[in-house]
């Protein structure tokens, strides 16, 4: 999947990413969300920069994942505006250059757009293998009254597989959006 993703021409990646962003802008989930985490694309991932620009112009607040300097393979979320100062993390992915005190509590985000390598229509996610998203959102599996944030995977349609094996620590996504489809999975209750 990663090889296939990297093999897309830049023009094709932008075309599909922009089609995905147009779909996402129309979803009720996006429209009602005010605090939204996205990511800076890496390794041929869906490019969400157009979404960040639109969201900021709509008065929404955007955030990017930052590798926690304190907790093993956990993410913190830093406020982000297009053009803000950034520093690359240990994977070479840019992170906003902000103080720890400026980070936002994960449970107070409304929507997290998650990168992924492969997904299935049930909402299972295969990531880069660090367990970053699962560790960060593990409380959503343990405490059923927690609903925030909603997690929406963003991927190209070719990243869909029939069924992914699922482990106890995997946190299912509320849906996956691609350049042509919106897969909504069951609400956590
Ligand atoms: N754009 C983006 N940001 C993200 C993630 C992601 O998947 N995509 N993450 C999702 O968890 C977290 C970072 N996790 C990552 C894990 C591995 C690699 C990676 O490129 N691994 C290389 C080896 C690089 C190295 O060791 O120096 C590889 O597997 O080839 C990147 C990000 C947080 N930010
Ligand atoms: N809540 C958790 N507590 C402790 N360990 C965890 C937790 N979630 C995941 N892990 C560990 O992290 C490892 C990687 O998990 P997994 O393969 O599901 O990552 P991933 O979802 O592909 O990665 P990423 O979220 O970084 O893109 C697992 O082998 C597991 O041991």
- Residue given tokens 């008065």 in the structure block: 59
pLDDT single digits (tens) 22-61: 999 999 999 999 999 999 999 999 999 999 999 999 999 9
Could you identify the atom of ligand 1 that is nearest to the CA of residue 41? 1
| Assigned domain for 19 exists | yes
Q: Is 44 annotated as a binding residue?
A: no
Could you identify the atom of ligand 2 that is nearest to the CA of residue 115? 27
Are 127 and 164 in contact by the 8 Å Cβ rule? The answer is no
| Assigned domain for 158 exists | yes
Domain of residue 27, residue span: 2-184
ipTM: 0.93
d(CA 53, CA 48): 9
pLDDT averaged over every residue in the chain: 95
Write the DSSP symbol of residue 169: T
| Assigned domain for 148 exists | yes
pLDDT single digits (tens) 62-89: 999 999 999 999 999 999 999 999 999 9
Average of per-residue pLDDT across 136-164 = 92
Are 95 and 64 in contact by the 8 Å Cβ rule? The answer is yes
Burial of 104 (0-12, 13-18, 19+ CB in 10 A): middle
Q: Is the pLDDT of residue 170 over 80?
A: yes
Q: Is the pLDDT of residue 136 over 90?
A: yes
Residues 6+ apart with CB under 8 A from 84: 96, 97
| Assigned domain for 105 exists | yes
CA-nearest residue, atom 6 of ligand 1: 115
pLDDT single digits (tens) 154-164: 999 999 999 99
Q: CATH number for the domain including 73?
A: 3.40.50.10420
Q: Is 83 annotated as a binding residue?
A: no
Domain tally, the chain:
1
Ligand 2 centroid from CA 125, angstroms = 11
| Assigned domain for 160 exists | yes
Burial of 70 (0-12, 13-18, 19+ CB in 10 A): exposed
User: Where do the DSSP E strands lie in 22-74?
Assistant: 35-37, 61-67
pLDDT for the residue 147: 85
Ligand 1 centroid from CA 91, angstroms = 6
| Assigned domain for 31 exists | yes
pLDDT for the residue 101: 94
Cis peptide before 149 (omega within 30 of 0): yes
| Assigned domain for 189 exists | no
Single pTM value for the model: 0.96
Q: Is 177 annotated as a binding residue?
A: no
Are 69 and 139 in contact by the 8 Å Cβ rule? The answer is no
Angle, in degrees to the nearest 10, between helices 49-57 and 10-26 = 30
| Assigned domain for 146 exists | yes
Q: Return the best residue to mutate from 133, 169, 176 for the ligand 2 pocket (most ligand atoms within 8 A of CB).
A: 169
Q: Is 12 annotated as a binding residue?
A: no
CA-nearest residue, atom 9 of ligand 2: 131
Q: Per-residue confidence at 143, pLDDT binned at 50, 70, 90?
A: low
Q: Per-residue confidence at 189, pLDDT binned at 50, 70, 90?
A: very low
Q: Is the pLDDT of residue 120 over 70?
A: yes
Q: Is 138 in the pocket of ligand 2 (CB under 6 A)?
A: yes
């Amino acid at each position: 999947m990663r090889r296939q993703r990297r093999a897309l021409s830049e023009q094709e990646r932008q075309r599909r990413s922009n089609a995905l962003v147009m779909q996402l802008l129309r979803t009720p989930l996006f429209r009602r969300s005010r605090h939204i985490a996205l990511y800076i694309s890496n390794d041929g991932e869906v490019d969400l920069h157009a979404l960040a620009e639109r969201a900021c112009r709509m008065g929404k607040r955007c955030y990017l994942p930052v590798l926690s300097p304190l907790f093993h393979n956990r993410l913190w979320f830093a406020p982000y505006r297009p053009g803000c100062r950034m520093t690359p993390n240990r994977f070479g992915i840019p992170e906003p250059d902000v103080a720890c005190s400026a980070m936002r509590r994960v449970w107070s985000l409304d929507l997290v757009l998650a990168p992924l390598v492969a997904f299935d229509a049930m909402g299972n996610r295969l990531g880069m293998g660090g367990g970053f998203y699962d560790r960060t959102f593990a409380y959503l599996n343990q405490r059923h009254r927690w609903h925030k944030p909603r997690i929406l995977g963003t991927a190209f349609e070719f990243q869909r597989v029939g069924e992914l094996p699922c482990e106890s620590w995997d946190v299912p996504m509320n849906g996956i959006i691609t350049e042509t489809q919106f897969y909504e999975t069951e609400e956590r209750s």
